[in-house]
Amino acid sequence: MARTLTPDICIIGAGAAGLSAAAAAVTYGASVVLVEKSRMGGNHLHHGCIPSKALIAASRHAHAPQSGPPFGIGATQPDVDFAAVRQHIRDTIATLAPNNSAEHFTAFGVEVIKAEGRFADGQTLLAGDATVRARRFVIATGSVPVPPPIPGFDKSGCLTDETIFDLPRLPEHLIIIGAGARGLEFAQAFRRLGSQVSVIDDANALGAEDPEMTAVILRQLREEGIDIREHTRITHLTRLGRHGVRVSFTTGHRALEGSHLLLATGRAPDLDGLDLGRAGIVHGEWGLKLDTRLRTTNHRVYAIGDAAGAGESTAAARTHGELVVRAILFRLPLRVRPSMVPRIIFTDPELAHVGLTETEAAAKHRRLRVLRWPYAESDRAHIERSTHGHIKVVADSGGRILGASIAGPMAGEMIHIWSLALAKGLTLRDMASYIAPYPSLGEIGKHAAITYLIAAARMPFARRLIGILRKFG
């Protein structure tokens, strides 16, 4: 029988963003309807962050037996059972799935509807047998892969991050289109598991990041035998059998043949089937038209996560969910600050960043202080024989921290304290004053901050003050 629901908030999509919003809303005592047309957990759980990081973890174990000689341990070639690697990925998803399940959220008071939702008008959503008239709606439908405009491209014969985990066997030669974070993470993982890997991009690899920091990552990937071709335009793709492909380029490059092709060029908001026009919501191929509060042109309807252009960041998606719920329930001002969300590229070594890059900071501030400290000056790094990489901290002339980047081992774990520093408005003096555990890789951040104090101590005023105080014993 048809039913009518009138919750405080109706959330469309049960991925990282939608589940975060649902959890926050019921915690505050709001009534919530959650609509999901596919699997609970969305891309984050089934195709994105969780399975890709499980694959990376397996590849690191495959690489470890070859890294023993500096420690007096003989190198050995790993015996990779790709079926077992796939099972590890599936086991990881299965272990985490209950925390994202309909049963889990129903137990907390969320009304979960497993059906496709579409707007009937600006205040009504139809989903299955339910008519939902909510006070506010939140679109959290995630994103889908975007096919490249390449002659000969056949989506049916191309792998994406939604299908690559279903491969029955390890690719002999994997060609990846796109040298962004996701493309290079897959590249290193499959290379370490035993595949030949080529990566092609018509721009800079990791072009959204600081070139100084990406150089550390790209050098390691190339040393491991990954063929990374930057500024290379593909002119045509030719299918060779069921999976094989020939990639043709502009002049200067010979055609490249591989056993499998992986598309990693980007994703776009998944808005199909929502009937947004009926709700008065303006959108296009670029996505939704949103204001600074993540509201659509229908101010009853918000968008969060990938649907709002969060850039495939689970951290950003979850932050969106929490901020939107507070704005809806408490009328609090919603200020989205993308630079405050830390991001990590899970290659080995890792690249982690939070805040402004040097280029971004220079566009907003007349005078900057840029501080660096290498892993090579860390005792722990020498113990681990992992001395490549460094930290880079950008601050204003008064020492207020504007951004931090780390390229090196465990960078993702070390960025936490810099994310906190930015959130709390800390200065380089604050970061130089805390006690770092020894020996730890995190000491490089403290040492970078200390260089700011050393420079300040050499200023004429400081020297004169020290001279005066010296006279008093």
Binding positions for NAD(+) are 178-185, 266
Nearest Cα neighbor of 100 from 52, 178, 40, 185 is 40
**What is the DSSP code (8-state) at residue 159?**
B
Structure tokens at 219: 């050098």
Residues 432, 449 contacting (CB under 8 angstroms): yes
Give me the amino acid identity at 17.
A
Residue ranges of the binding site? 53, 117, 141-143, 178-185, 266, 306
Distance (Å, rounded) from C-alpha 473 to C-alpha 469?
7
Length of the chain counted residue by residue: 473
> Within 10 A of 110 (CB to CB), how many other CB atoms are there?
23
The rounded Cα 301 to chain-centroid distance in angstroms is 25
Residue 75's alpha-carbon distances to 72, 190, 219, 384, in angstroms, are 9, 19, 22, 16
The rounded Cα 429 to chain-centroid distance in angstroms is 30
The residues, ordered by sequence, that sit 6+ positions from 441 with a Cβ below 8 Å of its Cβ are 375, 378, 380, 381, 408, 409, 410, 414
Distance (Å, rounded) from C-alpha 390 to C-alpha 406?
6
Residue ranges of the binding site for FAD? 53, 117, 141-143, 306
Give the CB-side neighbour count of residue 333, counting CA atoms within 13 A.
Answer: 2
Beta bridge partners of 297: none
Nearest Cα neighbor of 61 from 76, 49, 83, 78 is 78
Give me the amino acid identity at 207.
G
The residues, ordered by sequence, that sit 6+ positions from 429 with a Cβ below 8 Å of its Cβ are 399, 449, 452, 453
Beta bridge partners of 110: 32
Distance (Å, rounded) from C-alpha 149 to C-alpha 169?
29
Structure tokens at 178: 């796109």
Q: What do you get for the CA distance between the two ends of the chain, in Å? A: 89
Nearest Cα neighbor of 19 from 299, 317, 344 is 317
Q: What are phi and psi of 439, to 5 degrees?
A: -85, 130
The rounded Cα 204 to chain-centroid distance in angstroms is 18
> Within 10 A of 468 (CB to CB), how many other CB atoms are there?
9
Distance (Å, rounded) from C-alpha 150 to C-alpha 235?
7
Structure tokens at 291: 């204001």
